[in-house]
């Protein structure tokens, strides 16, 4: 194999966001754009002898082309082998599992998660380290720094690799192994959960409906729910991966998973319904005419974890991202285990899991997971719920209502304002920051501001400090408003407003979250002046 050195010039915009570099496909299609970023990753790493790289993606448009480039660059940069998912497919949690199970020198995951796919839509790329988790900020910052000074990249001249069938190809000592994308992951799930109990639950006539949203979890769902658990084919919808995700927006929430929501709230609603996102790391959980917030889902899984074989011995600790509700904190307090509050993004959980400090982690953005891999895991969360339903014989709704009775309810909602011009979004943030000194002590209706800050986090394992992670307005009554800008979008800015109130009052626990939070929403707008500064009266998406 002859290694070519190609002269290139830097792009200024290759800064990884919350979860890797995400841009429009057309940006990635510019000459050298993908190559520059991949070389910047390789230049940041100290690639050891005999290093193997895992490569896979969510199957979106440009996945296959990008994989061919990455294979050729891995060969030129000292890797001896790549493990690639068949058809270029690996869900994000499955990729994390492959890295860990086969101890590869990390992996490159191609995904823009829940963002729409297709020639005019989004693509993404990120590097995960040998523990299977997204590279920490120290590494992503270094990759960005390299990308700003890059002058050449290395690539070999190889014919395109056939990714359609499982097997090994060896070229001049470099090995390309195409692996079954599903089997290792399905095996892991089967070890962790009580499949026999879930099978009995299904055989007893309980019904499940799963929506893969035309994205990567389709083949996994068919194998796990269909083949291994015996669910009938009509329980599984949109399970063929298409390059543009069926033209949809594979974000499993009440807005974008509308087809599933209609079924879950319809006349023939199943006992349990769930969806996952583009790359398979998110989950939405629904019961019969009932929605479980991701923050509550995390708390409830933590509270009942001992009913799941993998966690029969209990949890070492739990962690949640800062904007996620404090529901899990109450469970941790009762269990007498530690609860960590981290910035948004799964990369901050890795150290805590590696150090054995936490078993479960979660984010309000439909992300839940555990230390079985180092990514959030959509199908794992679905299986947690199925296992709990099978073990308790309860319905989703009764499990949640009983949970609220015991722990109280953290009433919670996130309001997203998408596609806001960047200057306007920055003006909202600046307007709040300008009030940092004057807000504490101010009274807005029933709410008295206690403290205001811009969240910063010191990693308890390696001491790394991350600042500027979101504005927090904390009220004396325990309610709070958090405002931050998204780090995963590819167009304009998205303002996220996270609203939370706590209630032990049984009557209030039954209320609709938007109603219960109405007064807090008014106060939030008063402080942020968001409607005035952006011209937006209503959020784009409410979750
Ligand atoms: C969003 C979510 C965050 C999540 C991230 C990646 O980030 O809020 O909780 O970790 O997406 O999820 P941001 O910066 O847009 O708020 V995924 O499923 O897009 O990899
Ligand atoms: Co995702």
| Fold exhibited by the domain 3-181 | Alpha-D-Glucose-1,6-Bisphosphate; Chain A, domain 3 (3.40.120)
- Compute the distance between CA of residue 166 and CA of residue 163 in angstroms, rounded to an integer: 7
Residue 253, pLDDT score: 93
Query: What ligand is nearest to the CA atom of residue 216?
Result: 2
Query: Is residue 213 over pLDDT 80?
Result: yes
User: Is residue 451's pLDDT more than 80?
Assistant: yes
Residue 402 has pLDDT above 80, yes or no: yes
Cβ distance 329 to 113 under 8 Å? no
| Candidate from 124, 125, 345 with most ligand 1 atoms within 8 A of CB, to mutate | 345
Catalytic residue among 19, 111, 113, 321: 113
Length, in residues, of the chain? 543
Within 10 angstroms of residue 465's Cβ, the number of other Cβ atoms is 9
Please list, in sequence order, all residues whose beta carbon lies within 8 angstroms of the beta carbon of residue 507, skipping any fewer than 6 positions away: none
Q: So what's the pLDDT on residue 425? A: 97
Mean pLDDT, residues 366-376 taken together: 98
**CA of residue 487 to ligand 2 center, whole Å:** 13
Write out residues with Cβ below 6 Å of ligand 1: 18-19, 113-114, 277, 281-282, 321, 344-346, 363, 365, 367, 486-488, 496
Task: Give the per-residue pLDDT at 259.
Answer: 94
pLDDT-derived band at 439 (thresholds 50, 70, 90) equals very high
- Residue 536 in this model has a pLDDT that exceeds 90: yes
**Is there a common fold for 185-407 and 409-542?**
no
For residue 504, pLDDT beyond 80 = no
pLDDT at 303 over 90: yes
Mean pLDDT of the 55-77 span: 97
Handedness of CA 24, 30, 35, 39 (dihedral sign): negative
Instruction: Report the distance separating Cα 517 and Cα 500, nearest Å.
Output: 8
CATH superfamily of 185-407: Alpha-D-Glucose-1,6-Bisphosphate, subunit A, domain 3 (3.40.120.10)
**Contacts with 409 (C-beta within 8 Å, 6 or more apart), sequence order:** 296, 327, 502, 503, 504, 508, 509
Average pLDDT value for the chain: 95
Q: Is the pLDDT of residue 491 over 90?
A: no
Q: To test the ligand 1 pocket, which listed residue (488, 496, 497) has its Cβ within 8 A of the most ligand atoms?
A: 488
**What average pLDDT does range 65-92 have in this prediction?**
97
| Residue nearest atom 15 in ligand 1 by C-alpha distance | 486
Determine the distance separating the centroid of ligand 2 and the alpha carbon of 112, expressed in angstroms. Answer: 7
What residue ranges do the domains of the chain occupy? Answer: 3-181, 185-407, 409-542
Work out the widest C-alpha separation in the chain, in whole angstroms: 73
Backbone φ, ψ for residue 284 (5° rounding): -120, 135
Backbone angles phi, psi at 215, to 5 degrees: -115, -160
Q: Do residues 257 and 208 touch, judged by C-beta distance below 8 A?
A: no
- Residue 536's Cβ-side half-sphere holds a number of Cα atoms within 13 Å equal to 21
Q: What is the per-residue pLDDT for 505?
A: 78
Q: How far apart are CA 131 and CA 355, in angstroms?
A: 11
Of 84-88, 192-196, 217-221, 490-494, which gets the smallest average pLDDT?
Answer: 490-494
- Helical H segments across 77-135, by residue range: 92-101
- Tell me if residue 113 is catalytic: yes
Q: What is the CATH number of domain 409-542?
A: 3.30.310.50
Contact yes or no for 324/362 (Cβ under 8 A): yes
């Amino acid at each position: 194999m002859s290694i070519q050195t190609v002269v290139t010039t830097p792009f200024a915009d290759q800064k990884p966001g919350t979860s890797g570099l995400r841009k429009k496909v057309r940006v990635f299609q510019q000459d050298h754009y993908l190559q520059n970023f991949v070389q910047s990753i390789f230049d940041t790493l100290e690639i050891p002898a005999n290093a193997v790289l895992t490569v896979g993606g969510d199957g979106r448009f440009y996945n296959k082309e990008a994989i061919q480039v990455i294979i050729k660059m891995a060969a030129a940069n000292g890797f001896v082998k790549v493990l690639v998912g068949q058809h270029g497919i690996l869900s994000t949690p499955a990729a994390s599992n492959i890295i860990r199970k086969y101890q590869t020198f990390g992996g490159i995951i191609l995904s823009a998660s829940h963002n729409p796919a297709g020639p005019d839509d989004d693509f993404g790329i990120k590097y995960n380290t040998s523990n299977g988790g997204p590279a920490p900020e120290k590494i992503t910052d270094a990759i960005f720094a390299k990308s700003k000074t890059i002058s050449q990249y290395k690539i070999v001249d190889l014919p395109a690799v056939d990714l359609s069938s499982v097997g090994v190809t060896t070229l001049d000592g470099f090995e390309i192994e195409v692996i079954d994308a599903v089997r290792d992951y399905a095996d892991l799930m089967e070890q962790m959960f009580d499949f026999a109990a879930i099978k009995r639950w299904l055989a007893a006539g309980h019904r499940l409906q799963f929506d893969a949203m035309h994205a990567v979890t389709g083949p996994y769902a068919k194998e796990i729910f269909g083949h291994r658990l015996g669910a009938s084919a009509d329980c599984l919808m949109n399970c063929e991966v298409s390059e543009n995700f069926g033209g949809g927006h594979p974000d499993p929430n009440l807005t974008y998973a509308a087809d599933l929501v209609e079924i879950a709230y319809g006349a023939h609603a199943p006992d349990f319904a769930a969806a996952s996102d583009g790359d398979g790391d998110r989950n939405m959980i629904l019961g019969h005419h009932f929605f479980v917030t991701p923050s509550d889902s995390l708390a409830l899984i933590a509270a009942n974890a001992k009913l799941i074989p993998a966690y029969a011995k209990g949890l070492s600790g739990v962690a949640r991202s800062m904007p996620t509700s404090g529901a899990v904190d109450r469970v941790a307090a009762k269990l007498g285990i530690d609860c960590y509050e981290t910035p948004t993004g799964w990369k901050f959980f890795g150290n805590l899991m590696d150090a054995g400090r936490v078993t479960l982690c979660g984010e309000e953005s439909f992300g839940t997971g555990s230390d079985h891999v180092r990514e959030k895991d959509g199908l794992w969360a679905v299986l947690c719920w199925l296992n709990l339903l099978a073990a308790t014989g309860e319905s989703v709704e009764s499990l949640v209502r009983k949970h609220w009775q015991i722990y109280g309810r953290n009433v919670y909602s996130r309001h997203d304002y998408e596609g806001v011009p960047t200057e306007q979004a920055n003006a909202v943030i600046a307007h709040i920051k300008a009030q940092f000194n004057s807000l504490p002590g101010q009274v807005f209706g029933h709410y008295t501001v206690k403290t205001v800050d811009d969240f910063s986090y010191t990693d308890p394992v390696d001491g790394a400090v991350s600042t500027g992670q979101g504005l927090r307005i904390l009220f004396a009554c325990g309610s709070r408003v958090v405002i931050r800008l998204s780090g995963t979008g590819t167009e304009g800015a998205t303002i996220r407003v996270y609203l939370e109130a706590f209630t032990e009052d049984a009557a209030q626990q039954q209320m609709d979250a938007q109603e219960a939070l109405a007064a807090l929403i008014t106060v939030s707008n008063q402080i942020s002046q968001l409607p005035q500064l952006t011209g937006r009266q209503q959020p784009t998406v409410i979750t």
